[in-house]
Amino acid sequence: MALFPLESNPEVMTKFLHKLGVSEEWHLADVLSFEDDCLDWIPRPAAAFILLFPCSDKFYEHAAQQKKELQDQIIVPDLYYMKQYVSNACGTIALIHSVANNVERIPLQDGIFKKILDDSKDLDPEERGKLLQDLPNNPYVMDMINAHQELALEGQTELNPDEKVNHHFVAFVEKGGYLYELDGRKEFPVNHGKTTRQTFVNDAAKVCKDFIARDHEDVNFTAMVLTSSVE
């Protein structure tokens, strides 16, 4: 199964979150720059960063190196991580990672998102990923997939689900005092070191800058932040 890819469009992805039952107090906003003076303008609280980046050979080389080097990293027990098995679902999975790791901060109405998180909280990352494939036994997952497809069609790009997509969404969250990169196509989450809720925005931006530095010849990077207008 291949989905239409979501665009890095805060308005569309915010609408998607609200359709799934996320409180309307929370929304996505563009990150216009990763420099500290611009980051200061991002509304707080900020729960997650979502980066869209090109999947170049340099990215895959770096991911392979991480797989060798990060076997003994610290992964906190309550980190929610889902593998990606459905093509072009990376935008939806980035949103799931963003919200699932902030449920104590982000109110959820009874609906699709709450049902998925309730049913998957005790599953391992592989089983969570397979939920999105098991449509006959999970009608609420089909509702989420239908919402994904509907919102993807609101974007500006002509869509073909079978066309190879060269860009990928990844989420960054703070959990247990650490900054985690959550990419469902990797073998495991990536711990980028200590952070706090107060320093999360700047620390996540530094990691995003590392992505750009590894592939500086490509300018096709965009980022969004999941934030709230309510303290």
| Angle, alpha carbons 95-84-210 (nearest 5°) | 65
Active-site residue, 38 included = no
- Type and span of the H or E element at 150: helix 139-152
Choose, from 90, 97, 148, 208, the residue flagged as catalytic: 90
Tokens of 20: 């799934």
Contact criterion met (CB below 8 Å) for 212 and 221: yes
* Cβ atoms 119, 195 nearer than 8 A: no
Q: What is the spatial distance between Cα 158 and Cα 152, in angstroms, rounded to a whole number?
A: 10
CB 85 within 8 A of CB 133: yes
Closest Cα partner for 125 from 92, 82, 162?
Answer: 82
* Rounded Cα distance, 119 and 80, in Å: 13
Catalytic residue among 27, 148, 168, 208: 168
In the three-class reduction of DSSP (H, G, I as helix; E, B as strand; rest coil), residue 145 is classed as: helix
H/E stretch holding 7: none
Q: Has 168 been annotated as catalytic?
A: yes
Where in the sequence numbering do the catalytic residues fall?
90, 168
